[in-house]
Amino acid sequence: MKVAIMGAGLSGLACAKYLEDHGVSPVIFERRHRVGERFPNMEAVMQIMHRPMQDPFVYMSKKYGIHLLPGGIMHTIEIYSPNKKTELTGFNIGYTTIRGNDERSLERQLAKQVQSEINFNSTVTWQELEKDFDKVIIATGDPTISMELGVWNTDTEAFLMGCIVKGKFDLGVSKMWVDQRLSKQCMVYFSPFDVYEASYCTVAIPSSPEELEALWFNTVEELNINPVPGTEFKFEEYKLGRVSTKEIGKIILTGAAAGFVEPFMGFGQIPSILSGVYAAISILTGKSYSEMTAWFDKQYLDCLTIRKYINKLDNKGFDRVVSLVDMPGVRNILANTNIHFVSLAAAAVRARNAIKSPLQ
């Protein structure tokens, strides 16, 4: 079986590792000159978004042999709205992860576990690969090819801008702000890389790149951020969406190319890695990739429901949500149980919409 993988990121390398562990050596094609060339930044894996999986890193290691170390273990998330503050604490919250060309990044860790040849600076197209291989995994991290194939549908577009700061930080403490003036309907987040370095990032759905700059300016002023010169990064039009089919002939779409990024908070690392593994299992066993990944379709729709609700909130609404999260029972459910928060919250929003709509 000849397998080509386009993209040496999370889903592509996870797919390669699983295939290799089961006797198939794929050929990997990577557009950049090395693994993890994306700007270095901190991301998060929050257990609350991946329930009923209790610990995604342990799960992936035990079940699929994908062994990854997070950047740090989160024990506290401080959440701020314009007039309220709350804190989720516990040891079931999640992890910070390092991305990009840092030695400790998830993609660099995966690359070390993969033996197959990676062809860097690749300009090969999926059409060319389709001719030479039995299966082609599209793991390119964006929907360009899904669009070319006519199967992509965008639900929302996020813009991100951030930087690195120096200081002395507690690795276990991340912070989040929800405030229209800083990030419109999305958020600003802060996560430490290590004890001496951390990253801030404004995520927003602005009307223009200029508006993103203005929001970032407000964030820097308001939170008193002192960016390390040259570390500011920007990511425009990060498309969050779905595909109408994840398999077309020899092609299997994985990771962000197949919409494995949920549209509530933008978490996509764990679903992307798993999608790569499922693609490999499908190739090795003939099991249906669409069926194996169907759980994510529901998760995606639930997250979209929550996102649409959040998009309508003003700052008073953000204050109300933070006050709700601050109630001891709610905080405990969020931080210390295994209750499937996403489906509960989506059901609550749908029930609210159903009650409201006959009155409108």
The region of 212-220, 268-276, 307-315, 317-325 touching ligand FAD under the rule CB under 6 A is 268-276
Q: Which residue is nearest to ligand FAD (CB)?
A: 9
| 160 near ligand FAD, judged by CB under 6 A | yes
With beta carbons less than 8 A apart as the criterion, state whether 36 and 99 touch: yes
Given 16, 44, 187, 253, the residue binding ligand FAD (CB under 6 A) = 44
Given 122, 231, 315, 323, the residue binding ligand FAD (CB under 6 A) = 122
Burial class (CB in 10 A: 0-12, 13-18, 19+), 186: buried
Q: C-alpha distances in angstroms, 339 versus 89, 167, 326, 344?
A: 16, 36, 17, 8
Full DSSP string of 173-205: EEEEE--HHHHTTSEEEEEESSSSEEEEEEEE-
Element (H, E) at 7: none
Q: How many residues sit in the footprint of ligand FAD (CB under 6 A)?
A: 32
Site string for ligand FAD, 199-238 (x = CB under 6 A): ------------------------------------x--x
Nearer Cβ to ligand FAD (80/255): 255
| 56 near ligand FAD, judged by CB under 6 A | no
With beta carbons less than 8 A apart as the criterion, state whether 251 and 129 touch: no
Site string for ligand FAD, 305-334 (x = CB under 6 A): ------------------------------
Cα–Cα distance measured from residue 158 to residue 103, given in angstroms and rounded to the nearest whole number: 27
Helix spans in the chain (H): 10-21, 56-64, 106-113, 126-132, 144-148, 180-183, 209-222, 269-285, 289-292, 294-311, 315-325, 328-336, 341-359
| 43 near ligand FAD, judged by CB under 6 A | yes
| 31 near ligand FAD, judged by CB under 6 A | yes
Site string for ligand FAD, 2-21 (x = CB under 6 A): ----xxxxxxx---------
Given 21, 24, 32, 214, the residue binding ligand FAD (CB under 6 A) = 32
How many Cα atoms occupy the beta-carbon half-sphere of 289 within 13 Å? Answer: 26
Summarize as ranges the residues that interact with ligand FAD (CB under 6 A): 6-12, 29-32, 41, 43-45, 107, 122, 139-141, 160, 235, 238, 255-257, 261, 266-269, 272
